Each structure stands twice: as C-alpha cells, then as structure tokens.
Structure 1
C-alpha cells in the first residue's frame, strides 16, 4: 500500500471528501492532493504530517501501517524468488510455471508483478537446452529491465550468471563489480558460488580477448596475495574479487 492509498483509506473511513480532508485547500490544493491519492504526485513530509494532525490520525499509527504493508510486500516477493531459485536449481520448470498465476493473483503492485513475471520468464529461458531456440527479444528485455538497477537480489544474480555470454566485456565488468561490491561480505554459500562464477567468466573473457596488460596485472596480484588455508573457498573468492577490482 502506498502513502496515497493509505491516506485515501483514512479519508473514506472518516466519511470526508477530499476538500474536507485537506482543510479546504489550506494544506495542499485539491487538484494536487487528488493526484497524491492516485500515486501520480508525491507529498512532502511536512504536508503529510499536517494532514495527519488535521485529521486526528496518529503519525505513529500511519507509519506503522505503512511499514507493515511494505514488510508484507517484501516478504511476498522474497517467497516468490526463493521458490523460483529452488525450482531453478532443481531444474523444475513446472514448479516455476506454477508461480505465474500466483504472482498475477498476489497483492503486489502492477510494477512488482511485471518484474516478478519477467524473472519467471528469464529463468525459464536460462533453463533451455543448448539445442533449443533462444528468445532473443526476451533476452534483450532481461538485459534492459532486470540489470539496469542499483541493487541485485539473488534471482537477478543467478540470471546474470546464466546470461553473461550475451554481454560485452565492459558491461560484464561493470555489472560484475556492482554485484561484488554488494555481496563481498555475504555468508550465503550460493551467493559466494555465484560471485565466483561471475569472476571466473570475466577472467576467461580476458584470456579469450587476449587482454595481455590485464592478465599481467592478474598474475602479479595473485603472487602477492597469501590465502589463509583455514578457509579455502572464501580465500578463492577473496583473491578473485581482488583481481576483478584490479582489472576494472
């Protein structure tokens, strides 16, 4: 639920018109406020607090309900994505397909539903066998819609790992660095493995493209690093992430 939707719920619950709710335009104009309820306009914190006080709505109650709604939405998205990933690792296409009607019928916003459905289609595309015809239009949409974001959840990292071959080297490095920066301290083994796969692919691309200067730097850095034998996997990740940061 958005701020506008919650304000509308309180207004209707008090039996007020928009004009009455905004003190006859003394707080914000009616034309502006009508768009706030439709989520077309944003309301300032000062104006929001004035509205709540004028209509005897406790601020703690309003923000508590708003945060509760956000938490429920976050949990719903997390449940969908955990199920997607489990089905993906089990190579269970039917289980992923069964999520589509559940997402459509969920309480998520249209935007969140669109993104979750796109992730479903993207995972199904990533599960195609080598001899199956790729959906180029869908893969282009994945690149444009899913990866042009500031933060990567587990599903998006998994999708990136399975679609790296469709990116140019510079884009691979850019996205790879963003993921490493976000998850370098994670204790999630699957995320550690995903990052290792990303780093290995970038290193392999460097070899393929014969980027000699970068490979020389890699060798020098690798010789200087002294891994801790008590945690071999984490040390491999640490070394590779350092190498990735150097080549970027």
Structure 2
C-alpha cells in the first residue's frame, strides 16, 4: 500500500473529511493529490499529520508497501523522523522508529539501526546503550583524518560521544581547518554542529579556555539562513563562557532571551536543556 492510499484508509477509519484530517498542516488541494499518489508529501508534514491524528508512526510505516517507494526516499523519511525526535528528546518516538526499522526489509536496515541506537545512546548520555561491536563499527566507519567529506563529517557529528575527548578535539580542529571556508551551507551547518558538540564537551569538563577558542573559531563561519539555529546555540554557549570569565548579569540575561526565543519556535525540550546548562554552569538567576 502506498503512503497516499494508507493515509486515505486511516482517514476514512477515523470518519474524517480531508479538511478535518489535515487541519492546518497542508492545503486541501495538495493533500487531495497526496491521497491519489499524484504528489509526494514531505517527511515533516507526514509526521505532523500522523501525530495530529494520533496515528502511531511505527504502525503506519509497518503497513507501507516498501516496494512502492525508492529505498532512498524511505531512508530519508526515517532519518527525518529520527532528527525530529532527537531535537525534541523524544525517546518514545525513537523507540517506535527503531521498531519500524527492525520490522522492515530495507537494504539499509543495519545502517539505520546503528544510527537510531547511536541517537538513543547520545540522549541517554552513555556508551553502554551500544554493544562493543556497534561502537567499533562507528569508529571504523569513516576515520580518515587527512581527507574528510560531507558524509564523514556528518557521521562524526552524530558519533562524537563515542570517542575520547582528545581524539574529538583533534578531529574537530582538522575538520574546521578543511571546511571553514566552504561555500556549501550544508557543510557549514554540520561544521557548526560539531563545534557545538565539542564546546559542550569542554563545558562538561570545565575546560573553559578550550571552549572559548572554539567559539572564536565559529565566528569565522558566516551566518546563513540554514545555519541560524546553530549560530543561536553558539551564541548561548558563548554567553555561558563569558559569564565564567566575567560573571555579569548581562550574560545571564542574554541566555534567558535566547532560551525564550527557542521556546517561541516550539523547541520546548531544547530550551529546557539550555535552562539546565545555565543552572549547572552559572548558578545564576535568569532575568
């Protein structure tokens, strides 16, 4: 069964019209074409439709005929779900996605399972969520220190937690030197993500001088629409670091403003994580 046909089946079972089913997610004319398989719905919109109508994501994808969609498209949809769940710290959804992958016949099944297991381990903050074999797979997957590409740095971004601090710092600096002047916005987005992770690790170890140097490196990468989220996060971390060296209320006020901005764009769980960082690293009162 195709995505369009399955959506129609769920909608009719719920006794809803197309307009009631889609709410404000997409336009009625566009959705009508989706049900007829005349156009493709984005992964983000599909996920929102399922969530809005209380349809379990894992159950929905298990019912799809995987032969009707290309391996690449299905993989992109599943990865999009993982990304959304990761930024919302939604462990329940990640476990549902894991069940979906486990029940699939995808050729990339092992790769996707490794990815979702890695994300769960990252959120949990412990390597113990992964087997020794999985950790070794991650270490062997891309490690070419002299010549990275966008695929390898993306993998590194997601797997930094599984390396020791010194190795992470060496690789981060090499990646920055190779790509700091790239005109590819997607690469710059990943590089900034790596810097954010590395700075966070520095803060965990109270290595504020190293964190400050990494923030200074991030200033060399120009802000683009695609990199705004990472730049906002880096600005927050910079204020935490500034407060450490010069504990003025203005830096806490800046943090509070940035936390509020993330909350306003529905990054509620992320803003809560930033709140925790402020409390742990400054002990100050947010204005």
Q: TM-score range by the shorter chain?
A: 0.3 to 0.5
* Bigger Rg, structure 1 or 2: 1
TM-score scaled by length of structure 1: 0.42
TM-score scaled by length of structure 2: 0.37
